[in-house]
Structure 1
Amino acid sequence: MSINVRFDLRHLKAFMAVAELLHFKKAAEALFITQPALSRLIKNLENEVKAELFARTTRQVALTEAGRLLQDECRLAFSHIERGVHLAQRAAEGDIGHITIAYNDFSINGNLPRILEAFKEKFPQVAVELSYIPSHLQHEALRDCQIDIGFLIGPSEDDCIESLLVDREKTVVILPVKHPLAQRKTIRLKELADEKFIIGSEGGWQAFRAHIFTICQKAGFIPQIIQEASTSNGIFGLVAANMGISLYAECVKNFTRRDIVVVPLEEDQSIIETVAAWNTAYESPSARRFKELLKQAL
């Protein structure tokens, strides 16, 4: 049932001042208003509530039963209002809130976990929503402000997208343990011209596929794709099964597998850059906090 009343916080503050001090003159002085103005506020409130809130005599002021009950509820209401203001201020500062972060395979196996751990330690009341989104799809999500920050293969060429370099990794070769090149300390890319390649599928690995084709063409060949996989573990498993070899970022060293061998490439141009990117059109307070910590961490 809705109640149609016409009073505001001024009336309730006036009521609470009188209820606490039980003295109209002292309450008026505490509120920095005149005593007649205070009396009008109390009278208006009583008319709206349709109940006498104070028992007045020439000698004293006392709360009625209606006034006492209203005082109890007003204490709760003002407590909630103060908490709401406090939470709003903290949300505006970015100390609490919500942030959506997208990641790709390389970032989640690289520096991102360390960054997330530091952020959650400093801002435990910010809810972090993580979503796996391939690099090429993160660009669209950032343009549409569907995510606050994306960790993807860079750089980004969109004017509305700003980015920060998070990691630079060398490209490495992943080989079956019995492969003739498995015992090498480094491998020249052109030595892989006749190998069969296992790479990530187009739907999830478009950006890294472009990197692979670019560096292979610079080395004088087009890779022979024998098999594709949608996940990192799928790629590693196919290599372990001696189906072919693969190229990957050096964060693969963070995986513990005994059925594959990781050998670095010699070429300096085979660097993979992971960037943190965001849309400059909108920045939530929580996202601003994350970016500040990110810049400090890097």
Structure 2
Amino acid sequence: MELRHLLYFQAVAEELNFRKAADRLFISQPGLSRQIKQLEQELEVQLLDRNRKKVQLTTAGLYLLEEVDFLINHLETVKVQLKEIEAGKLGELRIGFLGSAANHILPSLLAKINVHESGISTSLEELSNGVQVELIQKDKIDLGFVRLESAPEGLEMKSVLRDTFSIVIPEEHPIQSQDFQSIDQFSKESFILFSSDYSQYYYDQIIGICRDAGFFPTIRHKSVHALTIFRLVEQGMGVAIVPSSLKEGYKLKVRFLEIPNIRQYTELSVIWKPDNRNPALSRVLKLI
């Protein structure tokens, strides 16, 4: 078995069509079929069910595809790290993050990296919780800043910020901070919430805050981006409930009122895969 066999299998498994996979690989379709047959003979398992109408992965094929994805991603990471080392650097750290991490936590970490690990470069990408978990599991990113109830299987998680919740209202809203006593004062308002795609656990917490106050919110709009939510609040489209720390970094015509006397709080956590072999990760985890 050679690397090309795995690359060929990956293409067929993703396309589920030998002709399309062959075109993608720039080889002939009969040649591709022979390579897949060689791989099956080498492994002594059937990886694909194929007939004239369709190609499907067997249970063994599904398992192999996950492992091949991991291997190929790891090889790509090794190539990147080698280039960084050749350039005299310690490597690159790929970081995923939620927008709320960009206000304080992430800039603070990057500042520490610049001072204590100046040989490490970073690649940053704003991603949802679910996408970060998936990419960390596949070794496509090294570190993630998420809001999750618990660590996904196979990953480690550490809380880096415990936060309260605030309601965001238009600047000209009649309720002032000295008048605000309970979230039920906004029970008749339209709400603009972070989508459950941002974090199902976080979304459920927001609904829980409202239910504890005796009402279910009328949800008019959802978004995964804080700025979009704040813009809609600014335009009088509704009110929003967000982590209090999000009030930093935005200069909009909105006000933040911290919600008193609630049991809910939110935590921003960092997650990583313990067996990730990127040398930059272990050095940065010490700073965290």
The answer to whether residue 178 in structure 2 is matched with residue 184 in structure 1 is yes
Distance between the aligned counterparts of 1:215 and 1:183, measured in 2?
19
Q: Which residue of 2 aligns with 1:280?
A: 274
- Counterpart selection for 2:237 from 230, 235, 243: 243
- AA in 2 matched with 1:130: L
Q: Which residue of 2 aligns with 1:214?
A: 208
Question: Alpha-carbon deviations, 1:253-289, whole Å to 9, x = none?
Answer: 2134251111100034231100011112324211000
**Which ranges of structure 2 fall in alignment gaps of 5 or more residues?**
1-80
Check the 8 A contact 2:151/2:157 in 1, yes or no. no
- AA in 2 matched with 1:217: R
- The more displaced of 126-135 and 279-288 is 279-288
Check the 8 A contact 2:161/2:269 in 1, yes or no. yes
Count of residues paired in the alignment: 205
The answer to whether residue 128 in structure 2 is matched with residue 107 in structure 1 is no
Check the 8 A contact 1:176/1:182 in 2, yes or no. no
The answer to whether residue 91 in structure 2 is matched with residue 97 in structure 1 is yes
Query: The residue matched to 1:172 in structure 2 has which SS?
Result: strand
1:184 CA displacement = 3.2
Distance between the aligned counterparts of 1:98 and 1:265, measured in 2?
40
- AA in 1 matched with 2:175: L
- AA in 1 matched with 2:174: P
Distance between the aligned counterparts of 2:151 and 2:133, measured in 1?
9
- Assess, with a 3 A threshold, how the Cα gap between structure 1 residues 128 and 170 changes in structure 2: closer, same or farther: same
Check the 8 A contact 2:191/2:219 in 1, yes or no. yes
Distance between the aligned counterparts of 2:251 and 2:180, measured in 1?
19
Rg larger for: 1
Identical amino acids, percent of aligned pairs = 22
What is the RMSD computed on CA atoms of the aligned residues?
Answer: 2.5
- Assess, with a 3 A threshold, how the Cα gap between structure 1 residues 240 and 123 changes in structure 2: closer, same or farther: same
Give the alignment's TM-score, normalised by structure 1.
0.62
Moved beyond 6 Å, runs of 4+: none
**Which ranges of structure 1 fall in alignment gaps of 5 or more residues?**
1-86
Query: The residue matched to 2:92 in structure 1 has which SS?
Result: strand
Distance between the aligned counterparts of 2:179 and 2:137, measured in 1?
42
Give the alignment's TM-score, normalised by structure 2.
0.64
Query: The residue matched to 1:184 in structure 2 has which SS?
Result: helix
